Amino acid sequence: MAKNHVTTTINGEPVEFLCETQQTLLDVLRDELQLTGSKEGCASGDCGACSVMVDDRVVCSCLVMGVEAEGKSIETIEGMADGDQLHPLQQKFLENAALQCGICTPGFLVAAKALLEKNPDPTETEVRYWLAGNLCRCTGYDKIIRSVLEVAEEAKGA
């Protein structure tokens, strides 16, 4: 079967790729486009390590078909920093030691960014429930949640 030709936008840049019908968006990002920042933890939508934005919604890229990217605007972890300027969430995660092995970190950052864009002043409970689809085995979530709350707090003052 011939591959599908897809035209899309990734992190603001126009991108074209070929993919098999059975390849997911995660497969495409990692294997065709060498954007390996999004991770595969489970391939079944249970861990959130593959989180990306598709048209302003945070989704699991392992549950989106590669062909569905046609005409969409996709944002991955690779697009979160602005050149060498880290996003406040990225900076806060570093300052607070909110990552240990770091495999879940890209997914958390993408999901947390989506939260603060939708709800700039979440409660601790709201942050925890929003991020419930992102599994972390190293940190116990404490420093991650604190980091998100602190960024929200600091944005209020700014």
Partner 1 sequence: MDGNANGYRWIGTRTIRPDGVDKVTGRAAFGADFSLPGMLVGKILRSPHAHARILRINTDKAETVPGVKAVVTSADFPEIPPAEATKGSSPPNYRHLSQNLMAREKVLYDGHAVAAVAATSAAIATEALALIEVDYEILPHVTGVLEAMADEAPVLHEDLFTGGVDPKPEKSSNIAKRVEFAIGDTDAGFDAADVIVERDYDTEGIHQGYIEPHAVVASMGADRQANIWCSSQGHFMVRQYCAGLLNMSIGDIKVTPAEIGGGFGGKTTVYLEPVALLLSKKSGLPIKMVMTREEVFRGTGPTSGSYMTIKVGAKRDGTITAAEADLRFFAGAFPGAPVHLGCMCGFTPYDIENVKAIGYDVVTNRPKAISYRAPGAPIAAFGIESAIDELAKKLGIEPLALREMNAAKEGTRTAYGPTLGVVGFEETLEAAKMHPQMSEPLGPNQGRGIASGYWFNVGGESSASVSINEDGTITVTSGAPDIGGSRASLCIMAAEIFGVDIDQVRAVIGDTTATAFNRHTGGSRVTFALGAVVIEAAEDCVRQLRERAAKTWDIDIDAVEWENGEARPAGENAGKFEPLTLMDIAEKTPMTGGPIGVKKSSNVQGPGPAFGTHICDVEVDRETGHVKILRYTAIQDAGRAIHPGYVEGQMQGGVAQGIGWALNEEYIYGEDGRLQNPGFLDYRIPVASDLPMIDTVIVEIPNPTHPFGVRGVGEIPIIPPMAAVANAIEDAVGLRLTSLPMSPPKVLSALDDGH
Partner 2 sequence: MNGMRYEAPSSVDEASALLAGASGETRVLAGGTDLLVQLRSGMVAPELVVDVKKIKEMMTYSVSDGAYTIGAAVPSAQLHEDADLLGMWTGVVEAMDLVGSTQIQGRASLGGNLCNASPAADSVPAMISAGAVCTVAGPNGRRDVPVEEICTGPGQTSLAKGEIVVTINLPKQAPRTGDAYLRFIPRTEMDIAVVGVGVCLTLDEGGTCTDARVSLGAVAPTALLVKECADALVGTKVDDAAMANLDAAARAAASPIDDKRGTVEFRTKVSGVLARRAAAIALERAGS
Q: Which stretch binds partner 1 (CB under 8 A): 53-61, 67-75, 87-95, 113-121?
A: 87-95
Q: Check residue 100 for interaction with partner 1 (CB under 8 A).
A: yes
In DSSP notation, 8-20 reads EEETTEEEEEEE-
Q: Check residue 20 for interaction with partner 1 (CB under 8 A).
A: yes
Q: Which partner in partner 2, partner 1, none is near 88 (CB below 5 to 8 A by kind)? A: none
Burial category of 29 from C-beta neighbours within 10 Å (exposed 0-12, middle 13-18, buried 19 and up): buried
If the CB atoms of residues 6 and 127 are measured against partner 1, the closer one turns out to be 127
Q: Check residue 9 for interaction with partner 1 (CB under 8 A).
A: no
Among 18, 63, 97, 155, binds partner 2 (CB under 8 A): 63
Among 68, 121, 142, 154, binds partner 1 (CB under 8 A): 142
What backbone phi and psi angles, to 5 degrees, belong to 111? -70, -40
Among 17, 93, 108, 130, binds partner 2 (CB under 8 A): 130
Cα 128 from chain centre: 16
- Report the candidate in 128, 116, 121 with the shortest Cα–Cα distance to residue 157: 121
CA–CA gap between residue 12 and residue 10 (Å, rounded): 5
Question: What type of residue is 70?
Answer: E
Q: Check residue 65 for interaction with partner 2 (CB under 8 A).
A: yes
> End-to-end CA distance of the chain, in Å?
54
Q: Check residue 118 for interaction with partner 1 (CB under 8 A).
A: no
Residues lying near partner 2 in the complex (CB under 8 A): 1, 4, 20-22, 24, 43-46, 48, 51, 54, 57-60, 62-65, 67-68, 111, 114-115, 129-134
